[in-house]
């Protein structure tokens, strides 16, 4: 969850090429409904001809814990035990309630039909070139999962390399490429069950398509790098004690793999490793938790076999690098909140020998990649992407032309190649892959989905509003041209506000469906994100987290005061850290919103650090084990701030057993607490949608994605309506 700036070709939760960020916001494509629907009573929902108590009765215990002298009630702690028979029975009853309510809403077939048109199209991911072979993921319009293909040369025929469809009858098991050798002969791929973070690593002969005997056990892998000789593999794996860097010799059992680095690190550290193209230098990054303010760089000369040496490990700043030809290119926020880039000689890595090659500017450097002996810097300016090229000494080489205001979400490049690929999309522009030729200094479309939308029928507007403390905050608005600002437009507001991640313009089929029917889709660029550099991030983390919630509430109030909508027509959504965001908003300003979609959320901020990947997030949030940090965590923790008898908006919680990053217990406990406390107006349900296979890391078949989005849109149409 929320890992900001890991490097490498394929990471544990999302495929990103030559990119700093491990983007792990992996909740559903939350968006809005499309039609005006009749009300379905929630008291006694009918399902299969029998009456089902909805919501089910939930046992409430008198659990009270003394924390730093404060009595903290936790009446639903028993729901933390995910496998207990009582918890499983409760989940089943909640699901029956949710299914009964959602399935009875009229208009679901229309929603599913349009989502199917928007989502069932040929979709192609960023290619990776190795040895003249291009490797990429593609999901055909009639397929449920992404299939890995290879192509010899730019114009060769596509050949299937890894097809996950036969792996499970319900297509809940997926497979994704994680690394390819420099010559394109050997590939590593991960097999994932449901939405879990953990995968099993397999190796395949990329020429014959035959699996090798070698495999790595199921686990959470942060990086995989294959030696040019193909005799060994370096990988970083999170274990019980912490993350370690291992070396695997091909043809041997993984249980005998050597630990190269990381002994002594706890579970709050993240490690990644990459090899230079010539295989000589192994670059190691140590990150002090997700959304961290500190990382370290080390390297090992594999040719001489020397010990691991530090490049920088004594500063409270972030450092990330790319090693090639005996040099390391370092992007850092050390003395530069908007980031800058240094080059260092690995023969003389001391800091006094570093050379600054890309200075800090008024835009924030989001990631750095290397291609054709040059440096690619991906910037974000006012939440919109820019890409600039510099030579190895920092001389400007040019700016990559982009199709418009939008988001470059990934770059695939090689140090010794004159081409690179990038993905671009915006609210009204589906994600397309572009190929850039350094010699021609020109970009052309390499793959584009044929999504049936009229791009010019929509308006994308960026507005600025003032938050509670006077800070100016930007927000994107997406709507159909000719929108009438009558104060009654069904509106969905979303945001994230954490871990230095940007809320950028992205294409979302559900949002498109919503605005087609006259709704407004709003994305607020809250503090805590990375839109304006490290200062913007710091202004929304730790003891300043309340700023994020204030920014979000101010965005909602601006939409109302500027006559886009009103509280009876306003919904909010968020997933993961964004789930915490909407959880705080609904408990702090319940009368401002009509409906809330809260996916895979953090909601018990007193105990979050005790579960799953919680230790990674302490640098972002703090920990209740610290008395000062407990005070502010308890003050905003959504679970602990539900008030008995309050009138809350309708809420749909979404989670599942497959979430092995954010413990599903958060949604379970919060749903129970709200159901018991809420004095709802008629038709304001508190629902829990719990899929045993859904999780943070995606990988679900397309039919399940469409089904879940239909449920979300149906729920919102029940509350807001949208003719």
Q: What is the bridge-based pairing of β-strands 650-655 and 595-599? A: parallel
Residue 20 to residues 209, 383, 412: CA-CA distances in angstroms? 30, 17, 12
pLDDT at 31: 30
Q: What does the alpha-carbon distance between residue 345 and residue 351 come to, in Å, rounded to a whole number?
A: 10
pLDDT at 11: 27
pLDDT at 52: 52
Percent of the chain with pLDDT over 90: 84
Round the CA-based radius of gyration of the chain to a whole number and report it. 25
The answer on pLDDT for 358 being more than 80 is: yes
Task: Yes or no: say if 24 and 519 are a contact pair by the CB < 8 Å rule.
Answer: no
Instruction: Work out the average pLDDT over 570-596.
Output: 97
Q: What does the alpha-carbon distance between residue 209 and residue 263 come to, in Å, rounded to a whole number?
A: 36
Instruction: Work out the average pLDDT over 521-536.
Output: 96
- The first and second tokens of residue 383, run together, are 């939440």
pLDDT at 468: 98
Looking at the DSSP bridge assignments, the partners of residue 187 are 180, 204
Three-state DSSP class for 398?
Answer: strand
Q: What is the bridge-based pairing of β-strands 327-332 and 319-324? A: antiparallel
Question: Could you write out the DSSP letters of every residue in 505-542?
Answer: ----HHHHHHHHTT-EEEEE--TTSSTT-HHHHHTTSG
The answer on pLDDT for 676 being more than 50 is: yes
Backbone phi, psi, residue 40, to 5°: -115, 120
Catalytic residues: 576, 696
Which of 269, 277, 274 minimizes the C-alpha distance to 295? 269
The domain limits of the chain are 44-117+453-719, 345-450
Q: What does the alpha-carbon distance between residue 61 and residue 77 come to, in Å, rounded to a whole number?
A: 8
- Band (pLDDT 50/70/90 cuts) for residue 12 is very low
Residue 153 to residues 132, 161, 311: CA-CA distances in angstroms? 6, 15, 38
Q: What does the alpha-carbon distance between residue 671 and residue 675 come to, in Å, rounded to a whole number?
A: 6
Q: What is the bridge-based pairing of β-strands 491-494 and 520-524? A: parallel
- Band (pLDDT 50/70/90 cuts) for residue 698 is low
Instruction: Work out the average pLDDT over 11-39.
Output: 29
CATH architecture, domain 44-117+453-719: 3-Layer(aba) Sandwich (3.40)
Which of 414, 364, 445 minimizes the C-alpha distance to 132? 414
Residue pointed to by tokens 């029940």: 718
Task: Yes or no: say if 269 and 238 are a contact pair by the CB < 8 Å rule.
Answer: no
Long-range contacts of 531-534 (CB under 8 A, 24+ apart): 531/364, 531/380, 531/382, 531/383, 531/474, 531/502, 531/503, 532/364, 533/333, 533/337, 533/338, 533/339, 533/364, 534/293, 534/318, 534/333, 534/337, 534/338, 534/339, 534/500
Contacts with 532 (C-beta within 8 Å, 6 or more apart), sequence order? 364
- Band (pLDDT 50/70/90 cuts) for residue 197 is confident
The answer on pLDDT for 24 being more than 70 is: no
The answer on pLDDT for 105 being more than 80 is: yes
Mark 94-111 as b/e (b = at least 16 C-beta within 10 Å).
bbbbbbbbbebbebbeeb
pLDDT at 289: 84
- Band (pLDDT 50/70/90 cuts) for residue 313 is very high
pLDDT at 38: 25
User: Average pLDDT, whole number, for the chain?
Assistant: 90
Which of 101, 91, 97 minimizes the C-alpha distance to 54? 97
């Amino acid at each position: 969850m929320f890992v900001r700036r890991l490097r490498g070709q394929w990471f544990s939760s999302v495929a990103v090429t030559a990119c700093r960020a491990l983007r792990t916001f992996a909740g559903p494509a939350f968006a809005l409904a499309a039609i005006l629907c009749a009300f379905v009573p929630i008291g006694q929902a009918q399902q299969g001809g029998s009456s089902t108590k909805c919501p089910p009765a939930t046992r409430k215990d008198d659990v009270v814990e003394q924390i730093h002298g404060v009595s903290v009630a936790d009446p639903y702690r028993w729901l933390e035990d995910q496998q207990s028979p009582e918890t499983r029975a409760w989940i089943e009853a909640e699901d029956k309630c949710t299914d009964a309510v959602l399935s009875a809403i009229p208009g679901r077939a229309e929603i599913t039909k349009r989502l199917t048109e928007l989502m069932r199209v040929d979709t192609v991911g960023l290619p990776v070139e190795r040895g003249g072979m291009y490797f990429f993921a593609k999901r055909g319009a009639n397929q449920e999962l992404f299939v890995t293909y290879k192509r010899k040369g730019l114009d060769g025929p596509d050949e299937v390399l890894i097809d996950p469809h036969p792996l499970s009858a319900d297509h809940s098991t997926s497979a994704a490429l994680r690394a390819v050798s420099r010559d394109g002969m050997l590939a590593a791929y991960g097999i994932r069950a449901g939405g879990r973070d953990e995968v099993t690593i397999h190796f395949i002969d990329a020429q014959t398509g035959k699996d090798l005997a070698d495999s790595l056990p199921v686990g959470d892998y942060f990086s995989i790098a294959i030696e040019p000789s193909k005799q060994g593999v370096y990988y970083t794996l999170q274990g019980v004690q912490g993350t370690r860097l291992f070396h695997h010799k091909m043809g041997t059992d993984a249980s005998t793999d050597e630990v190269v680095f990381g002994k002594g690190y706890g579970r709050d550290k993240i490690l990644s490793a990459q090899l230079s193209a010539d295989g000589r230098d192994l670059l190691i990054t140590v990150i002090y938790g997700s959304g961290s303010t500190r990382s370290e760089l080390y390297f090992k000369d594999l040719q001489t076999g020397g010990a691991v040496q530090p490049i920088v490990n004594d500063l409270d700043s972030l450092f990330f690098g790319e090693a090639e030809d005996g040099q390391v290119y370092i992007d850092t926020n050390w003395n530069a909140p908007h980031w800058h880039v240094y080059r260092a000689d690995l023969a003389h890595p001391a800091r006094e020998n570093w050379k600054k090659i890309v200075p800090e500017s008024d835009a924030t450097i989001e990631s750095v990649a290397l291609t054709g002996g040059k440096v690619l810097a991906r910037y974000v300016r006012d939440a919109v992407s820019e890409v600039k090229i510099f030579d190895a000494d920092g001389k400007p080489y040019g700016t990559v032309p982009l199709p418009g205001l939008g988001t470059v979400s990934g770059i695939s490049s090689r140090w010794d190649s004159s081409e690179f690929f990038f993905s671009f999309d915006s609210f009204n522009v589906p994600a397309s892959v572009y190929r850039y030729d350094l010699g021609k200094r020109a970009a052309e479309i390499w793959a584009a989905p044929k999504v049936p939308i009229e791009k010019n029928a929509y308006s994308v507007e960026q507005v600025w509003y003032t938050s509670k403390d006077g800070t100016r905050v930007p927000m994107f608005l997406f709507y159909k041209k000719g929108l009438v600002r009558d104060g009654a437009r069904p509106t969905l507001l979303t945001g994230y506000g954490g871990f230095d991640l940007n809320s950028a313009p992205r294409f979302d089929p559900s949002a498109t469906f919503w605005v087609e029917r006259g709704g407004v889709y709003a994305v607020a660029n809250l503090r805590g994100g990375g839109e304006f550099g490290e200062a913007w991030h710091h202004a929304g983390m730790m003891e300043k987290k309340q700023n994020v919630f204030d920014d979000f509430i101010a965005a909602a109030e601006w939409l109302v005061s500027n006559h886009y909508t009103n509280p009876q027509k306003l919904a909010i959504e968020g997933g993961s850290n964004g789930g915490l965001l909407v959880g705080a908003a609904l408990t702090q300003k319940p009368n401002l919103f009509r409906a809330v979609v809260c996916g895979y959320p953090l909601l018990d901020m007193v105990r979050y650090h005790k579960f799953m990947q919680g230790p990674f997030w302490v640098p972002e949030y703090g920990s209740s084990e610290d008395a000062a940090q407990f005070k502010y965590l308890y003050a905003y923790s959504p679970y602990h701030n539900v008030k008995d008898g309050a009138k809350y908006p309708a809420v749909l919680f979404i989670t599942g057993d497959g979430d092995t990053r954010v413990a599903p217990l958060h949604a379970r406990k919060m749903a129970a607490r709200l159901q018991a406390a809420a004095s709802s107006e008629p038709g304001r349900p508190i629902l829990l949608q719990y899929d045993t296979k859904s999780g943070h890391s995606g990988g679900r078949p397309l039919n399940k994605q469409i089904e879940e989005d239909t449920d979300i849109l149906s729920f919102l149409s029940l509350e807001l309506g949208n003719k």
